[in-house]
Structure 1
Amino acid sequence: MEQPKAPAFRTLWRKSMTLGVTALLSACTVVPKGPVETPNAPPPPTAQLPADEGRHRVALLVPLSGPGGAVGQALANATTMALLDTNATKIRITTYDTSSGPAAAAAKALADGNRLILGPMLGDDALVVAQTARPAHVPVISYTGDAGVAGNDVFVMGAVPAQTIAREVKYARAQGLTRFAALMPLGNYGERAGNATIAAVRAAGGTLVGMESYDRSKGSLTAAVRRLKGRGAFDAVVIGDTAAMAAQAAPLLKIAAPHLRILGNELWAGEAVVARTPALNGAWFAALSDQRFGRFTESYKARFGQPPYRAATLGYDSVLLTLRIAREWAPGTPFPTGRLLDRGGFLGLDGIFRFNANQVIERALEVREARGGAINVLSPAPTRFED
């Protein structure tokens, strides 16, 4: 069968996991949909693993069915894709389905001799997995964005609300905005985003005029906006919610304040409602750069027949990270966890990143603006860490 041309990233892990080196792209082999048998493809979770004296065993814990099954499968596809693109020969990744319980999946992964766990997707699951993995001294690089689960060899690799809010607030202050307000939904995400806003405004030298919460009903949102306006004048308001909820809040906020600057979050990335909502015209939000995502999408579609979820790059980049550290990791020995704290950082499809002392990822983010029915980049993502 003739193989369609599809860009890939064979040299990305070799030449660009240390900063300052350009990532190169090359052609790749098409992988059919469904189970794939390759020298490096993960065997089924129930298969008896062969002896691997010269290869590292790495477990991928994601759901393959249920509410998160589609995203979990995309992450699994992306890890296979990374192995194939890099011609990796020293790592075996085995996928373990967390749908029936993260504790059971973790126990099976450890019994099979895996020395590193990639995943799971959810913060609560990461805590459960860590309880099993920690006594065995096996670190966990989770895909959650919940920084609260980080620490004690649990690394958080997902998008962290605090970082997107800090990036856009700092940018807003640089543009002369000084007085901020915030609207946050009730719940765990809203609480984290609210705390992040308080810290970001303080760090940027601004003033937080007020913050109000709501339960995502129309009446509650309207009342929260009314209370917020009663707090006094402000230049910008951070909405710590989805783009759909921001589209409902924006017209209420801009009554008698048409020049109010609305600030969003990473949940807005890729949402068409941001560009097409008149009241969000001029809104700013921070997000991961999509500079390499388009090529990744083309390659993924050529292999699996459909576009990937945006989160799939987490799977790909976690493999690149593992391969980079595997240069100093002898097979059969514990994973060198300390290498994850390299302050110089690493480079993946989503740009530069590193883990801080709290084992939470730090990413380089760009600031985007909704303007005239389109989304434009106002401030590109940095290409290096300054400290």
Structure 2
Amino acid sequence: MFAVLSPARKVLRRVAGIASVAVLTACAPIGLSDLGSSGGGPSINPNAPVQVALLVPKSDPGAASVARSLENAARLAIADLGGVNIDLRVYDTAGQADTAAAQAQRAVDEGAKIILGPLFQNAANAAGVAVADEGINVLSFSNNTAIAGGNVFVLGSTFDNTATRLLSYARSQGKGDVAVLYTDNVPGQVARNAITTAAARTGATVVGAEAYALNTESLTAAVGRVKGLVDSGAAQSIFLTDDWDGGLSVVLQLAPEQGISPASTQYIGLTRWDIRSDGFHLPGINGSYFAMPDTSMAQNFSARYAQAYGSQPHNLGGLAFDGIAAIGALVKAGRKDALTAKALTQSAGFQGTGGVFRLLADGTNQRALAVATVRNNQVVILDPAPRSFGGAGF
């Protein structure tokens, strides 16, 4: 045990600094639920060029590569539209909320009919507030549902959507009684709440939730409390909210060693566990459940992007492609109301880089996801991502 805990302490000391940054960037934004209307948005001439503003943090040193990938993906999507004239104009937010608000207003003053972006939640919130009184919708790249509503939509994959998919599948497999093990910070608390909400939606049951700070002593104690729920028979599954940039690798090693066996207890992950193959040897990941987009669609997008730009897209780059694809599909249909909330939230949804998705009236989104696991150091799809809404998996 001590041989395990010694390196674990080193890892957790390193990620504690990362967690503190996450807390700072996850501060609660101003709500927009009282702005705009369910059908709000401008009328357009679908046969004329449609001006779209792309707001990205081009001059932010820490996000410039993401901004470049988002812009490239947006232009790749425009090239696919055939017959739809999108006039894309790019505005630099510098990663700052006040700059994003000013640039959003400038874009609308210059003729933008819809805003794609910004990237960061506070910037997206500020941009939405700035143009709400002019009836302009914002398709942000954030995944924070706290800023969704009114004229702001989030394109990023949300905890709510992922938790719902995974708990629905777990319940179908007789493993719907879950104990949640979450990081004791704002992102962890948001994740815990998403799991609780998803449980109520799917008929699963959260039998307990235990928080841990990013140090070995706290994690050991939290795992011990979860083990009590498992040993008593209350919990069939353990739902983890951590990710590879946090303490996930330590959790997936430590929890099995403390007696929560993956052979008898289902491990479920809220984050993408497939992106770090060097973690596939950890005992907790074998036989686990986690969610991922349609692999064939995602690989097709990455290949086309690489062919066009000579490099792989950032993992958020596809969000800009999705936004343009949605806008283009509605404009191509000849709809004067293509950029209104009523049109954007059509129930049929849109084809995106990771499969089908749709925007919801509350500003959040629903995305098709596959349920996957790891066996023999390989990712295995247990339940494929649905190809349309209304089918299995939704």
TM-score surpassing 0.5? yes
- The structure-2 alpha-carbon separation of the partners of 1:121 and 1:115, relative to structure 1 and needing over 3 Å to count, comes to same
Equivalence for 1:366? 370
Judged with a 3 Å threshold, the aligned counterparts in structure 2 of structure 1 residues 269 and 106 are, in CA distance, closer, same or farther, namely farther
Equivalent-residue separation in structure 2 for 1:240 and 1:173 (angstroms):
18
Contact map agreement 1:329 1:335 (CA 8 A) in 2: no
Deviations 1:312-355 (A, max 9, x none): 11111111111111135678x89333101111222222111112
Normalized per residue, which structure has more helix? 2
Larger CA deviation: 134-143 vs 250-259: 250-259
Residue 118 (structure 1) aligned to one of 100, 112, 116 = 116
8 Å CA contact 1:115–1:334 kept in 2: the answer is: no
Counterparts of 1:75 and 1:296 in 2: how far apart (Å)? 13
SS at 1:266's partner residue?
Answer: coil
What is the rounded CA distance, in whole Å, between the counterparts of 1:221 and 1:256 in structure 2? 14
3-state SS of 1:243 partner = coil
Between the aligned partners of 1:334 and 1:344, the Cα distance in structure 2 is 14
- Over aligned residue pairs, what C-alpha RMSD do you find? 2.2
| Matched-pair contact (CA < 8 Å) for 1:365–1:380 | yes
Give me the whole-angstrom Cα distance separating, in 2, the residues matched to 1:335 and 1:208.
39
Match of 2:331 in 1: 326
Do structure 1's residue 297 and structure 2's residue 302 form an aligned pair? Answer: yes
CA deviations over 1:57-90 (Å, ceiling 9, x no partner): 1000111132222111101110111112334552
* CA distance, structure 2, for counterparts of residue 208 and residue 360 of structure 1: 23
Check 1:330–1:159 CA distance in 2 against 1; reply closer, same or farther (3 A cut). Answer: closer
Deviates more, 1:186-195 or 1:268-277: 268-277
- The structural deviation recorded for 1:251 is 2.6
Shift of 1:295: 2.1
Structure 2 partner of 1:98: 93
1:336 aligned to 2:340? yes
Q: Distance in 1 between matches of 2:338 and 2:359?
A: 19
TM value normalised by structure 2: 0.79
Indicate the residue corresponding to 2:78 in structure 1.
Answer: 83
1:54 alignment counterpart: 48
Residue ranges of structure 1 left out of the alignment (5+ in a row):
1-51
* Identical residues among aligned pairs (%): 29
Which residue of structure 2 lines up, in the alignment, with residue 284 of structure 1?
Answer: 289
Q: Which is further off, 144-153 or 348-357?
A: 348-357
1:92-128 C-alpha deviation (Å, 9 max, x unpaired): 0111111152122212212211010001112211110
Distance 1:299 1:92 in 2: 22
Do the aligned residues in 2 keep the contact of 1:137 with 1:334 (CA within 8 Å)? no
Query: Counterpart of 1:93 in structure 2: which amino acid?
Result: L
Contact 1:144–1:158 (Cα < 8 Å) also in 2: yes
Where does residue 264 of structure 1 map in the other structure? 269
After superposition, the Cα gap between the structure-2 partners of 1:86 and 1:344, relative to the gap in structure 1 and judged at 3 Å, is closer
Instruction: Write out aligned runs for 1:197-216 (5 A).
Output: 197-216=195-214
Match status 1:177 vs 2:175? yes
User: Residues 379, 53 of structure 1: CA spacing in aligned structure 2 closer, same or farther, 3 A cutoff?
Assistant: closer
Corresponding residue of 1:346: 350
Query: What is the SS of the residue equivalent to 1:162?
Result: helix
Specify the code of the residue in structure 2 equivalent to 1:225.
V
* Contact 1:247–1:273, Cα closer than 8 Å, also in 2: no
Figure out how many residues of one structure are paired with residues of the other and give that number: 335
Cα shift at 1:284: 0.9
Deviates most, 72-81 or 344-353 = 344-353
Residue in structure 1 matching 2:127, options 113, 129, 132: 129
CA contact (8 A) 2:137 2:340 kept: no
Question: 2:183 & 2:113 partners in 1: Cα distance?
Answer: 39
User: Which residue number corresponds to residue 193 of structure 2?
Assistant: 195
Distance in 1 (alpha carbons) for counterparts of 2:223 and 2:103:
45
Give the secondary structure class of the aligned counterpart of 2:272: helix
Which AA in structure 1 matches 2:86? I
Structure 2, gaps ≥5 residues long: 1-45
Task: Give the distance between the partners of 2:355 and 2:268, measured in 1 at CA.
Answer: 22
Question: TM-score normalised to the size of structure 1?
Answer: 0.81
**Which residue in 1 is equivalent to 2:7?**
none
Q: Kindly indicate whether the alpha-carbon contact (under 8 Å) linking 1:138 and 1:334 is maintained by their aligned counterparts in 2.
A: no
Q: Is contact 2:115-2:137 (8 Å) kept?
A: yes
Distance in 2 between residues matched to 1:169 and 1:273, nearest whole Å: 26
Note if contact 2:241-2:271 (Cα within 8 Å) is conserved in structure 1: no
User: Whole-Å Cα distance in 2 between the matches of residues 82 and 334 of structure 1?
Assistant: 17
CA contact (8 A) 1:265 1:287 kept: no
Please give the alpha-carbon distance, in whole angstroms, between the structure 2 residues aligned to 1:265 and 1:301.
Answer: 28
Displacement of 1:129 after TM fit? 0.4
- SS for the counterpart of 1:276 is coil
Q: Structure 1 CA distance, aligned partners of 2:201 and 2:49?
A: 45
- Which residue number in structure 1 is paired with residue 380 of structure 2? 376
Contact 1:61/1:119 (CA < 8 Å) preserved in 2? yes
One-letter amino acid matched to 1:272: S
CA distance in 1, matches of 2:169, 2:238: 14
Q: Which letter maps to 2:87?
A: R
- Report the secondary structure of 1:93's partner residue: strand
